[in-house]
Amino acid sequence: MEEYLLKVDKVQTVFKTGKGEITSVEEVSFQLKPGQTIGIVGESGCGKSVTSLSIMRLLGKHGYVKNGSILFNGKDLAKISEAEMREIRGNEISMIFQEPMTSLNPVFTIGNQMMEGIRLHMKLGKKEARNYAIEMLNSVGIPRSEAIMNEFPHALSGGMRQRVMIAMALSCRPRLLIADEPTTALDVTIQAQILELMKKLRSQSNTAIILITHDLGVVAEMVDKIIVMYAGQVVEEADVFTLFDNPKHPYTKGLIGSIPHIETHQEDRLISIPGAVPSLQNMPTGCRFHTRCEFATERCLQEQPNLIQLDETGEHKVRCWLAEEEAYVSRENKEVFV
Amino acid sequence: MSLPTEIKIEKPSKERTGTPLLEINNLKQYYPIKKGIFSKTVGHVKAVDGLSLQIYPGETLGLVGESGCGKSTTGRAIVQLEKPSEGEIIFDGKNISNFTNREMRSIRTELQIIFQDPYSSLNPRKRIGDLLSEPLLFHKLATPSEAKKKVEDMLEIVGLPKSYRNRYPHEFSGGQRQRIGIARALILNPKLIVCDEPVSALDVSIQAQVLNLLKDLQNEFNLTYLFIGHGLGAVKYISDRIAVMYLGNIVEIAKTEEMFKNPKHPYTLALLNAYPVPNPHLRGRQRIVLEGDVPSPANPPKGCKFHTRCPIAQSKCREEVPVLTGVHHSVACHFPIN
Amino acid sequence: MFQYIIRRLLIAIPVLLGVTIFNFFIINLAPGNPVDMFVNPNMSAADILAKKEALGLNDPLWEQYGRWMGSMLQGDFGYSFATYEPVLDNIAARIGPTLLLMGTALIIAYLIAIPVGILSATKQYSFIDYLTTTFSFFGISIPNFFLGLGAIYVFGIVFPIFPTGGMTTLGSSGGFVDTFMHLVLPAMVLGTAIAGSMVRYVRSSMLEVLGQDYLRTARAKGLREFFVNNKHALRNALIPIVTIIGLEIPLLIGGAVVTEQIFQWPGLGQLTIQSIGSRDYPMLMALNFIAAFTVLFSNLLTDLMYSVVDPRIKYN
């Protein structure tokens, strides 16, 4: 079996508050091979961003990974020292964020901010770092890159700033890039530009990507594998084609059904999932989705389902009692045992 | 929390017949740019620059475009939140663009708006019941006891329990707040509702709930919508006709199906192309990706405003301003796509 | 930028005019008049009247104001009623000590407020934070004269380290060390009072910045927390702090009046108190004019500072 670059295993991230600890995500597991792109989807409040920030260990003063392991290149990121983690951040793992308007420091020039990471991790001199930064800006399609180096962020459009963020993130040739809603704040024609750029850069390097988004259209365009998160847990994992063609979890089905399509004619109503994502403070017992699930049974109210494998390859996993029972029945019939 | 979805009214035929409910002629909304010692006006930001359109009773007209194209400004001008710099707005046969505030008050009940962020438009210190009954009492359309009854009815209509009238805005989720925003617009029994990006801030599953609700309400109360949005999927789902805006002008307007099947303006085509399709089997399809950013509305390009980004622009486009032509499918382009 | 400054200066003219009118009438409304202050029992009523006539105090107020304005526009602030010296000479002799005191106090305030404020913000809700917040409250709420008297008691009487009055030792020729020793107490008193409010500015400004997205970006690059706080955060937090200097100057002027009086500092503040006592109208008008001008000028300076420290702001 191919070596995994990242192995996230049963991670639980908690935040300390005045009233004790609140669990934000738990039971998050997935693996990523070098060069692979994985998408994390789900609605806001499902723990997508917390998952990525747990990998980067940028959870702030109050958050930490309480249980589970995050193996990156053989090192457990949940356990290594802060100094070791700093060596990895921006170097082997880098990140781009949702808001290009606020993610760059308004009082320093683009050049200053670009060169910071380059000088820190690549140990280049000032002049070399500057030339390298200009080269990076060119590679992400920024015109007049030398002049842009001396500009402040406010002089650039949202799309241009996101290109700068990408150039900054890729400058140390990371093995893993985490993109947290990289195009959500952008207009659709600019989004298309950025996605094309990311595809182009991906094909030139062997960087693995974790793409976090709520837009199923974006994942359909970009990723190899998808994990669907709901209320802080992974509820389904599959390769992108399987997930869209044959979703198993009712939440995944609802998400896919609720997107208005433009490529097909559609007269019928959109499928909508009633209610809203439960808050961290009062998570439902049993299956967390049961409050919004039309198929919920007595068992779903009581017992929490596990993330189980649906096929022999172990690529398609789901956390749902119904899917589990269905899979069990079909295996019985085919006399295939786990 | 059931929606009044069971009412299956035959959709009235939405052919463009009779007199339009709303007619906009040559609407201009300019904002002055001031400079110098005596704040002399040296130019204008041309947010809307000579826009004309008609909305017919019972239809939904979708207005799409990227940020800064003037779609929200148009919506705000229609409900007279801002006095237009030039042009007329004829609502129900009356030219309301030069109405005094007093005259406007009589029209207000018939012309309502729903905002993108319902939270910032709801007074946080007032209970929902008071927020909803306020317009009724202000316009003297109901006694306090009638108003209370009407508020309860309206909450049920938008799918919220009656008891919620005693709650404060912060106790609601985004989707619920948007339902309240809809209830507040609907309670005055308006003829036209301007929906200014009502689902852009919502998660997909919630977006589907709100879109379905808007559709149901339209059938039930024979409403007319101007639906402003940047998500093509949502606009397509809800609109009968769609108008595409670019830099303050409409570049194409047609029936929804026609627009998606047979876009004529290169910008429309690029917008459709840029929209990420939630179907992984369609990745790698041929598509146009526009280059560059939208030019500043303070200094729009001469000739066709789109020529700087248009893949098929010719010398004529740089000089002559194209006019919106065509009866059922209008386009403002010198070289429309067949 | 140049146009902007010109425009601001033009706007300042009517404001200054209004201030002088207002001051002139307020001063004249105060009970008593300059002549009362130097009458002696031997003067007859006729003498007093003649004196008043000579000083022009019997003319209608608007005429007196017009006269003052007319000569002021020619750069002539008149003669002091109390000392008979030109007003400007008196002020010129006093302005140096005041600037020295105010400047030192301001530097002390920044030196205390910035590090303490940063510490307090980065360790929000810690013991240190509560301690600094409490102390800054004291700094704000204890009046200057009280702090001054306390300082005199502690450092002048209990531990006689510093001189408690004047700017130089009487009879000596002054010199740097002597002046410095005299400066310590008044500058500390004035400085700490301002630092009290400034710490709170720094803290809240820093707290606001600490939540910004670009700090997460900086951390994601692998920067040390020290750099994140002291490069990326501080530079942004300083924007409002640098500019509140414009708000502090009026406070400084007010504080200087009291502090100078307590420490017998030979500056404009002390002169103000003396002039109020002797109803020295020309002197008061000039002092008020200077104060108003300084405040307006420091406001303009504040706005210009914005464009220096914040690249997003451009004036035109």
- Number of structural domains, chain B? 1
**CA gap A60, A54 in Å, rounded:** 10
Instruction: Write the pLDDT tens digit of every residue in B146-162.
Output: 999 999 999 999 988 88
- Alpha carbon distance B245, B238 (integer Å): 18
Q: Does A290 touch chain C (CB under 8 A)?
A: no
DSSP B158-208: TT--GGGGGS-GGGS-HHHHHHHHHHHHHTT--SEEEEESTTTTS-HHHHH
Tokens matching residue A34: 């070098």
With vertex at residue B193, the alpha carbon angle to CA B192 and CA B196, rounded to the nearest 5 degrees, is: 145
Q: Please name each of the domains of chain C with its CATH number.
A: 2-73 (no CATH), 95-309 (1.10.3720.10)
Residues of B with CB under 8 A from a CB of C: 35-39
pLDDT of res. B334: 95
Distance from CA of A171 to the nearest CA of C (A): 10
What pairing do the DSSP bridges indicate for beta strands A75-76 and A233-239?
Answer: unpaired
Q: Does B268 touch chain A (CB under 8 A)?
A: no
* pLDDT band, very low/low/confident/very high, at B333 (cuts 50, 70, 90): very high
Same domain, A308 and A209: no
Residue C230 has pLDDT above 60, yes or no: yes
CA distances (Å), B53 to each of B80, B82, B90, B227, C185, in order?
16, 18, 11, 13, 75
Domain shared by A107 and A180, yes or no:
yes
A274 with A211, same domain: the answer is no
> What pLDDT sits at residue B17?
61
Alpha carbons C241 and B297: distance in angstroms, whole number = 35
Same domain, A264 and A209: no
Asked whether residue A330 is assigned to any structural domain, the reply reads: yes
Chain C CB contacts of B38 under 8 Å are 7
**Chain A interface includes B284 (CB < 8 A):** no
Question: In this structure, are A153 and A266 located in the same domain?
Answer: no
Distance between CA atoms of A177 and A91, rounded to whole angstroms?
10
Indicate which CATH number applies to the domain containing A52.
3.40.50.300
- A98 part of a folded domain: yes
Do A260 and A214 have their domain in common?
A: no
CB C87 within 8 A of CB C79: yes
- A230 torsion bin: left (phi>0), alpha (psi -120 to 50), beta (else): beta
Q: Which of A90-104, A191-205, B4-18, B301-315 has the lowest mean pLDDT?
A: B4-18
Confidence tier at B13 by pLDDT (50, 70, 90): very low
B211 touches chain A (CB under 8 A): yes
Query: Per the CB < 8 Å rule, is B37 touching C316?
Result: no
| Average pLDDT score over residue span B173-180 | 88
For C23-78, write each residue's pLDDT tens digit. 998 988 888 777 777 667 777 788 888 888 888 888 888 888 999 899 988 888 88
Cα angle for residues A129, A130, A135 (degrees, 5° grid): 95
Of A212, A229, A246, which closes a domain? A229
Answer whether C212 touches A (CB < 8 Å): yes
Q: How far is B12 from chain A (nearest CA, A)?
A: 15
Asked whether residue A260 is assigned to any structural domain, the reply reads: yes
In the numeric block, the tokens 């200009």 are attached to: A134
Whether C7 and B38 lie within 8 Å, measured CB to CB: yes
Any residues with CB less than 8 A from the CB of C300 and at least 6 apart, and which?
C5, C8, C9, C12
C312 interfaces chain A, CB cutoff of 8 Å: yes
Range of the domain at A275: 255-337
Does residue B264 lie in a domain region? yes
Residues of A in contact with B273 (CB under 8 A): 192
| Rounded Cα distance, C216 and C220, in Å | 6
Written as one letter, the residue type at B295 is: P
Contact yes or no for C236 and A94 at CB 8 A: no
- For residue A220, what is the nearest residue in chain B, using CA coordinates? B280
What is the percentage of chain C residues whose pLDDT exceeds 70? 99
Q: Is residue A240 part of a domain?
A: no
* Percent of the residues in chain C that have a pLDDT greater than 90, as a whole number: 37
In this complex, do B35 and C316 lie within 8 Å of one another by their Cβ atoms? yes
* Mutation site, C123, C221, C239, interface A, largest A CB count within 10 A: C221
Q: Does A20 touch chain C (CB under 8 A)?
A: no
Residues 6 or more apart whose Cβ sits within 8 Å of residue B308? B292, B295, B301
B111: exposed, middle or buried (Cβ count in 10 Å: 0-12, 13-18, 19+)? buried
Output the pLDDT for position C30. Answer: 81
The alpha carbon of residue B164 is apart from the nearest alpha carbon of chain C, in Å, by 34
By the 8 A CB rule, do C57 and C64 touch? yes
Chain B environment of C12 (Cβ under 8 Å): none
For residues A214 and A263, membership in a common domain is answered with no
Mention every residue, 6+ apart, whose C-beta is less than 8 A from residue B12: B58, B222
Residues A190 and A317 in one domain: no
Is there a domain that residue A128 lies in?
A: yes
| Cross-chain Cβ contact A95/C235 below 8 Å | no
The answer to whether residues A63 and A146 belong to one domain is: yes
Is there a contact between A255 and A74 (Cβ–Cβ < 8 Å)? no
**One domain for residues A189 and A293:** no
Report yes or no on A56 lying in a domain. Answer: yes
Question: What is the reported pLDDT for B235?
Answer: 93
**A139 CB contacts (<8 Å, ≥6 apart)?**
A167, A170, A201
Does a structural domain hold residue A235? Answer: no
- Asked whether residue B291 carries a pLDDT value surpassing 90, the answer given is no
CA-nearest residue to A170 within chain C is C221
pLDDT in tens, C173-220: 778 888 899 999 999 999 988 898 889 999 999 999 998 999 999 999
Would the pLDDT of B112 be above 90?
yes
State the pLDDT at residue A315. 86
Q: Does some domain include residue B291? A: yes
Minimal C-alpha gap between C217 and chain A (Å):
6
Structurally, chain A folds into a number of domains equal to 2
Q: Could you give the strand order of the β-sheet that contains B94-95, starting from the edge strand earlier in sequence?
A: B40-55, B22-35, B86-91, B94-95
Residue that terminates a domain, selected from A193, A214, A229: A229
Residue with tokens 């020793």: C181
CB-CB contact of A322 with A293 (8 Å) = no
Domain around B310: 259-338
Q: Do C223 and A91 touch (CB under 8 A)?
A: no
Q: Which two tokens stand for residue B34?
A: 């001031």
Q: Is C217 on the interface with A (CB under 8 A)?
A: yes
The amino acid that residue C241 corresponds to is I
Nearest to C311 among A94, A107, A121 (CB): A107
Output A13-22 pairs: Cβ under 8 A, ≥24 positions apart. Answer: A13/A47, A13/A50, A13/A51, A13/A54, A13/A59, A13/A63, A13/A64, A13/A65, A13/A66, A14/A63, A14/A64, A14/A66, A15/A59, A15/A62, A15/A63, A16/A62, A16/A63, A17/A62, A21/A66, A22/A280, A22/A281
- DSSP state, residue B54: E
| A248 is a domain residue | no
Give, in order, the Cα–Cα distances in Å from A117 to each of A82, A172, A281, C184: 17, 8, 38, 45
Claim to verify: residue A132 and residue A16 sit in the same structural domain: yes
| Interface size between A and B, measured as CB pairs under 8 A | 130
Q: Specify whether A186 is located in the same domain as A326.
A: no
- Across the range C121-128, mean pLDDT stands at 90
Counting as contact any 3 or more CB pairs under 8 A, the partners of B are A, C
Q: Which residue has the higher pLDDT, A84 or C2?
A: A84
- Is residue B103 very low, low, confident or very high in pLDDT (cuts 50, 70, 90)? confident
A neighbour chains, 3+ CB pairs within 8 Å: B, C
| Mean pLDDT confidence for C7-30 | 89
Average pLDDT for chain B = 88
- The ranges of chain A with pLDDT < 50 are 1, 335-338
Indicate the average pLDDT of chain C: 88
Are A221 and B212 within 8 A, CB to CB?
no
Q: What pLDDT is attached to residue A332?
A: 62
